[in-house]
Amino acid sequence: MKIIVIGAGLIGGVIARDLVALQEYQISVADIDQQKLEILSKDLNVTTVPADLSDIKEIDKIIADQDIVVCAVPGFLGFNIFKTAIESGKNIVDISSMSENQMELDDLAKKNEVTAVVEMGVAPGISNMIVGYVDSLLDETESAEILVGGLPVKREFPFEYKITWSLRDTLEQNVIPAKIVENGKLIEKEALSEVEIINFPKLGSLEAFNTDGLGNLIHTLKIPFMKEKTLRYPGYADKMRMLRETGFFSDTAIDINGMKVKPLDFTSELLTPHWKLKEGENELIIMRVIVQGIKNNQKLRYTYNMLDYFDKKTMTTSMARNTGFPASIMSHLIAKRDFLKKGVFPGEYIGRDHQIYQTVMKELEKRNIFYNEDIIKL
């Protein structure tokens, strides 16, 4: 069976390595960056495919002889690749959080007999899968809250932050209004708003603020209160608000001495050296998912905590591991025909299939990623 990984970045590399380790598939990796492809091909038995991932005709060509497509690209590229794979009748697993509603392609996926798993990273991904799982256990689900963040272990002035995923997606988080659900209604709140300080064992105090991270949950589950907040070291939100309100994140070009410059491009160039992880630098990802509801007239609160660090043995970031492994695991389950359903399936739908949910969690544990469950009566 042939599987192609679209995107050879940190996360795409993890997915490719994990699938190659199974020794069951012919793995190809596509990217426009020849250097990234060469690095992967030195370590792995993969076929490298140089390709412009923004060119849909090229995407259509490189997936033509593949059985499964695994998409590991930034959100702004994801939807067109996702749609192209479904139109081509290819099963696909995607990690991207997109502004588009992938559920609109459900009928097309069913018509073409395609299994399309969306937002199968860490958040959205495992976070939504947990919400879907607990929602299926409860008689009535009252609320769901997701807290998640990737951070450097060493805090360095001025930002105390390092890039652990797409720079563009990270900066857009500071601008895009956060879609949340309150009293059963979908509303928007300003990004970086409602900052609160939360204490976490081993890490101490972190700040949490609204970001647009619920993904398809806002379309799929009828839970009256839902929100996602990003976690950072205290003070980050104020700094980002200052940059945003001054215009540093604007995508509209301004004239500087006769040259047209987008402030967002300028800001990206300035921040990259401050935010880029050094080779081998220790970093972490932390996530807490809290789902509350009623079962047999008893109010319950389910809490899941995960804390994972840079893997020094494989020199792999925690963000790449936690985002890439869910996608590679689901690809394997589709390839082995353990997951046969046709249509578009976000993480919360995967969570409702208890056998698949337990399998994914056990496979994550084999890769040293653990979600600790705590259930209390209220």
Instruction: Report pLDDT digits (tens) over 96-114.
Output: 877 788 899 999 999 999 9
Instruction: Report pLDDT digits (tens) over 323-369.
Output: 999 999 999 999 999 999 999 999 999 999 999 999 999 999 999 99
Give the total residue count for the chain: 378
Instruction: Report pLDDT digits (tens) over 39-91.
Output: 999 989 999 999 999 999 999 999 999 999 999 998 788 899 999 999 999 99
Q: Which residue stretches of the chain are H helix?
A: 10-21, 34-43, 56-62, 75-87, 106-111, 126-137, 167-172, 217-220, 236-246, 263-275, 318-335, 347-352, 354-366
Q: Which residues of the chain are in CATH 3.40.50.720 domains? A: 2-122+319-369
pLDDT of residue 170: 83
Residue position matching structure tokens 């679209």 = 6
pTM of the predicted structure, to 2 decimals: 0.94
Res 150 pLDDT > 90: yes
Instruction: Report pLDDT digits (tens) over 248-270.
Output: 999 999 999 999 999 999 998 88
pLDDT of residue 43: 86
Residue 225 banded pLDDT, cuts 50, 70, 90: very high
Q: Which residues of the chain are in CATH 3.30.360.10 domains? A: 126-309
Res 178 pLDDT > 90: yes
pLDDT of residue 173: 87
Is residue 285 within 8 A of residue 322, CB to CB? The reply is yes
Per cent of the chain over pLDDT 70 is: 99
CA-to-CA dists, residue 72 to 93, 96, 120, angstroms: 9, 7, 10
pLDDT of residue 143: 98
Res 172 pLDDT > 90: no
List the structure tokens of 176: 């895009």
pLDDT of residue 165: 65
Mean pLDDT of 200-208: 95
Instruction: Report pLDDT digits (tens) over 275-331.
Output: 888 888 899 999 999 999 999 999 999 999 999 999 999 899 999 999 999 999 999
- Out of 3.40.50.920, 3.30.360.10, 3.30.70.360, 1.10.3720.10, select the CATH number for domain 126-309: 3.30.360.10
Q: Which CATH superfamily is domain 2-122+319-369 in?
A: NAD(P)-binding Rossmann-like Domain (3.40.50.720)
- 227 — alpha (psi -120 to 50), left (phi > 0) or beta? beta
Mean pLDDT of 135-151: 97
Q: How does strand 2-6 pair with strand 26-31?
A: parallel
